[in-house]
Amino acid sequence: MNLNLPSIPSFGQTAAEAARHRQNRLTKPTGALGRLETLSIQLASITGRPRPRFKNKAVILMAADHGVASEGVSAYPPEVTAQMVLNFQRGGAAINVLARQAGAQVSVVDIGVNYDFDNLPGIVHRKIARGTANLRRQPAMTHAQAEQAVQTGLEVVEDHIREGVDLIATGEMGIGNTTPAAAITAVMTGKPVEAVTGRGTGLDEVGLARKIEVISAAIALHRPDPTDALDVLAKVGGFEIGGLAGVMIGAAARRVPVVVDGFISGAAALIAAGLKPEIKPYLIASHLSQEIGHRAVWEALGLQPLLDLDLRLGEGTGAVLAFHLIEAAVRILDEMATFDEAGVSDRA
């Protein structure tokens, strides 16, 4: 497979200028709504619409298993991945609750779970393999599988956009996936492994030390090239991480904003930006999680998260919470009266 990435359109400067002009004419002191104002202008730039609105929100949640889980890098057993996918399918997880509150659909994609879902409805069946290989011992996937993961994300997001989805949050599920996320972050940012590796699902000190050793050994063994994002993905990544990278690139190509969730989604953003650096302005950083590597991700991408709630669940929960701020930002821009419309005197 030869991965054919779509081109990313230039930022909508005309729409941005129109949005900025309207913000400066709304009945408030200029800049009084702070980052809600800059967020609305960014959304105008992304969509190319001076007064953007979003009617069809979706969470694209990629699920996959990880061979490295056998190294004891997670506090939970690997079978929890499949069990949680079934929980998503039934609507019983945190992301389902928060998505319902935000008026968003949850689209669960089996891109690599070690379980046979038998074409169960409510799941997008795009399995590449039944989990990655153990990255401590061998590359997580082949180069062809890395390409396939990104391509799957491109195709899944295109299907959603064709159906009318106009705002996307990234989500994921995969026991052990903070390990490849930390490995990717260390390689792509140049930070020491111990500076970007956290406790994941709740490891104790011994477990954390083991996790750092596993990641360090994997990087030393495979020597992933930080200038080649596909090489990094193949050697120390995960199927859901590659899939989400494809989602981000595909959405940016169609001028659809992507709200990036937690640490694993952040690692996917590093892969996506490595493949297509011009997507960075199309990404919205939802929140800063408890995972210590998350800050390094946002710094590397030049993004500032909207929320800081000590989250560490994943699933897209932080991204969906950010939907409410996005909705507030675009409603202010679109619905608030200008000084002229309201007959209110502007500053002297």
pLDDT in tens, 200-219: 988 999 999 999 999 999 99
Mean pLDDT, residues 177-205 taken together: 96
Confidence of residue 348 (pLDDT cuts 50, 70, 90): confident
Domains 13-52+332-342 and 57-324 alike in fold: no
List the one residue out of 120, 100, 107 whose CA is nearest residue 161: 107
Distance CA 157, CA 127 (A): 16
Our answer to whether residue 341 is catalytic in this structure is no
Buried b (16+ CB within 10 A) or exposed e, 12-38: beebbebbbebbebbeeeeeebeebbe
pTM (whole model) above 0.95? yes
d(C-alpha 153, C-alpha 68), whole Å:
23
Confidence of residue 134 (pLDDT cuts 50, 70, 90): very high
Q: In what order do the strands lie in the sheet with 123-125?
A: 123-125, 104-112, 57-64, 167-173, 258-260, 283-285
Please report the pLDDT score of residue 192 as a whole number: 98
Decide if pLDDT at 1 tops 80.
no
- Which residues neighbour 233 within 8 Å (Cβ) at sequence distance 6 or greater? 140, 141, 146, 149, 150, 184, 241, 242, 245, 271
Among candidate residues 37, 71, 172, 315, the one labeled active-site is 315
Can you tell me the distance from the alpha carbon of 243 to that of 142, in angstroms, rounded to the nearest whole number?
Answer: 15
* Each residue's pLDDT tens digit, 45-72: 999 999 999 999 999 999 999 999 999 9
Three-class SS of residue 283?
strand
Question: Please, which pLDDT band fits residue 323 given cuts at 50, 70 and 90?
Answer: very high
Q: In the structure encoding, which two tokens stand for residue 296, read together?
A: 């390094």
CATH class for the region spanning 57-324: alpha beta
CATH of 13-52+332-342, one of 1.10.1610.10, 3.60.15.10, 2.160.10.10, 3.30.70.1150: 1.10.1610.10
User: What residue spans define the domains of the chain?
Assistant: 13-52+332-342, 57-324
Instruction: Give residue for tokens 């930390």.
Output: 182
